[in-house]
Structures are given as C-alpha cells and as structure tokens.
C-alpha cells in the first residue's frame, strides 16, 4: 500500500469520524486527537465549532501540525432545526438519541430533515474549509446496522432505505461528510494551483500531454479541452439546449512528483460552471479526482 501524501489529526474523540474521513480523503492518513480538557463548543455555527476544535488541536500538537476540526448535525424542520449544532449533546449517541428523536416526532407527518457537515483544516500554510449537506427525511423507526449516529433513521432524498441500510459504501460517496471532504479537496487543489509553478512551465505542458493520453476518462475529456494551459470556445448541451461555452485547462506542478490538472467548462455567461480537479503523478496517471460546481452537461462538443 502506498504511503499517504498528507498526515492530519482530526480534533475529535470520535474514532468513527476519523476512520470515515480518512476513507473520504484519498492519500491522507487521519488520526483522532488524544487530549484532555477539550474546549466547550461555544460557537453559534458549525463552522465556528469546527474552528474551535481545530485551533485546540493546534495548541496541543504545535504550529507545524495539520489539524482538521469537524462539526456536524441533524436539522429537523418540524423541530425548528433542532438538534442542529447541539446534535452531539442532544442525547447519548446511538439508541438513546434516536429514541428521543422519534419520541419528539411521534404523530408528526412532516419529517423533512438534513445532515450538515463543516470541515476546517488548519495547515502550516493557512486555513482550508469544506461544507456539505445531505437532505432527506426521518423514518418512523430505526432500520439498518451500518453507519453511526442518526443513520438508522435518516432516509436521503430519492431513496427508500435509511443510510444505515444503504451502507458504508453508499455513505462514502454521498454523505454530508463526503460532500464536505470533496469541497475540502477542491479548496486544497486551488491552493496548489496558486502555489504551483504556473501554466507556462514546459514541464507542465509535457505532463499535460501525458495526462490526456493516460486513460479513457482523460482521453475523452481531451477531445474538448486544450492540451496546454488556456481556453477554447465550445458548445454544451444544457437541459436539451445547445449553448456557447468555454473549456479551460490549467496545471499546477506540486514538487517533487505531483501535479493538479484543472479542467473547467463555463456557460451561461459564466453563471454555470463545472470543474474537474485531477490529482496526478508526473507520468500523467490519475491518483484521484474531485468535481465541483453545476452538473456537468450531458454532451459536449468542441469547435477547435
């Protein structure tokens, strides 16, 4: 198994979250923080509480550590958004918290709810953030055995099963924490782009050529994106309507042997955009990919 590219500490006593986050961040090794005298979560938002935890972790481990603070919660419309930022203190995790929630919703038909997750990552270079939300509804009884927290009673939109029934593999792709992790990776990609060697570097152009020849996904995207840093006009099919767009390529070289290729389609005068962040090796092979923005158009053709 390859060595992780980054090591970080999750400022949480919840080992479940540390293991889940490690699976959601390709190339990262995540360990839970071992500490005493944890600070009170006095923030009035998930972000504020996540930052409180991350700052505490830096105080314990020192300024050179990479620390992630995470705060998440379940918001139920019929309860005025409760338990929200107080989810972890609503009742003891697991069966007691679920029993209390179902008791409060006894006889209530409107059961819309959402999971929310906020990640704040403090690195020696600065702060990164990622937010994620999963909407759904509260079931009338607990079902399933995977996941943790309120997963046995949370049914995501478009599904009939609870998260605990859908399983960990589904959760790693679709959960609120998975979405926050993808946003965090995208933020990391942007910092690497800013800190990289820039698009005019001849080595970067050679790496791009290898990337577009490296695999079926890259080759397919290579039919519409330029093979060197820059932008080309293109057309996209957006909900059955063909519209003018731009297809842009950029690259950042991350020493010693990593790179980030960024491909962006923008249309509707820039109001809509879809971006791929490919984390690659210098030989063009893909380690991982993050997608952000509007849904990718169904079909795309280039005009070059």
Q: Where are the domains of the chain?
A: 6-192, 198-302
Tell me the percentage of the chain whose pLDDT exceeds 90.
37
* Element of type H or E holding 155: strand 154-156
* Element of type H or E holding 237: strand 230-238
Known catalytic residue at 5: no
pLDDT grade, residue 244 (50/70/90)? confident
In this structure, of 135-139, 195-199, 214-218, the range with the lowest mean pLDDT score is 195-199
Tell me the average pLDDT across 58-72.
Answer: 92
Q: What is the pLDDT of residues 253-296, one digit of tens each?
A: 876 778 889 898 888 766 778 888 898 888 888 888 888 877 76
Residue 7 CB neighbours (<10 A): 12
Query: Residue 238: pLDDT above 80?
Result: no
pLDDT grade, residue 4 (50/70/90)? low
Q: Is the pTM of this model over 0.75?
A: no
Query: Residue 36: pLDDT above 60?
Result: yes
Tell me which of 36, 44, 71, 283 is the catalytic residue: 71
Query: Residue 2: pLDDT above 50?
Result: no
pLDDT grade, residue 190 (50/70/90)? low
Helix, strand or coil for residue 295?
coil
What is the distance between the alpha carbons of residues 133 and 179, in angstroms, rounded to a whole number?
A: 7
C-beta of residue 164 within 8 angstroms of C-beta of residue 145: yes
Tell me the average pLDDT across 69-88.
Answer: 94
pLDDT at 205: 84
* Element of type H or E holding 248: strand 241-254
Nearest to 297 by CA among 226, 189, 221: 221
Average pLDDT over the chain, rounded to an integer: 85
Cis, peptide link before residue 256, omega less than 30° from 0: yes
Encoded tokens for 49: 């509480």
Tell me the average pLDDT across 33-57.
Answer: 92
Q: What is the pLDDT of residues 222-233, one digit of tens each?
A: 888 888 888 888
CATH topology of domain 6-192: Maf protein (3.90.950)
């Amino acid at each position: 198994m390859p060595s992780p590219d980054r090591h970080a500490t999750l400022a949480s006593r919840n080992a479940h979250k540390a293991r889940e986050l490690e699976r959601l961040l390709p190339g990262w090794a995540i360990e839970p923080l071992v500490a005493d005298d944890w600070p009170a979560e006095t923030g009035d938002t998930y972000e504020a509480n996540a930052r409180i935890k991350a700052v505490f972790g830096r105080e314990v481990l020192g300024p050179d550590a990479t620390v992630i603070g995470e705060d998440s919660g379940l918001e139920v419309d019929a309860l005025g958004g409760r338990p929200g930022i107080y989810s972890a203190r609503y009742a003891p995790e697991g069966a007691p918290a679920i029993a209390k929630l179902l008791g409060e919703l006894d006889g209530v038909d409107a059961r819309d709810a959402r999971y929310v997750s906020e990640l704040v990552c403090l690195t020696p270079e600065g702060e990164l953030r990622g937010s994620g939300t999963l909407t759904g509804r509260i079931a009338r009884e607990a079902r399933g055995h995977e996941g943790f927290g309120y997963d046995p009673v949370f049914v995501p939109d478009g599904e009939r099963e609870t998260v605990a029934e859908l399983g960990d593999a589904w959760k790693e792709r679709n959960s609120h924490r998975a979405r926050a992790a993808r946003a965090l990776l995208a933020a990391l990609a942007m910092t690497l782009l800013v800190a990289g060697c820039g698009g005019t570097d001849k080595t970067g152009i050679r790496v791009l050529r290898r990337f577009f020849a490296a695999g079926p996904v890259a080759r397919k995207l290579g039919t519409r994106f330029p093979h060197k840093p820059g932008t080309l006009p293109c057309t996209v099919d957006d909900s059955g309507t063909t519209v003018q767009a731009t297809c842009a390529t950029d690259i950042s070289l991350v020493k010693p042997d990593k790179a980030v290729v960024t491909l962006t389609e923008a249309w509707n005068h820039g109001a809509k955009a879809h971006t791929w962040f490919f984390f690659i090796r210098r030989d063009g092979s893909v380690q991982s990919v993050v997608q952000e923005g509007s849904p990718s158009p169904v079909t795309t053709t280039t005009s070059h």
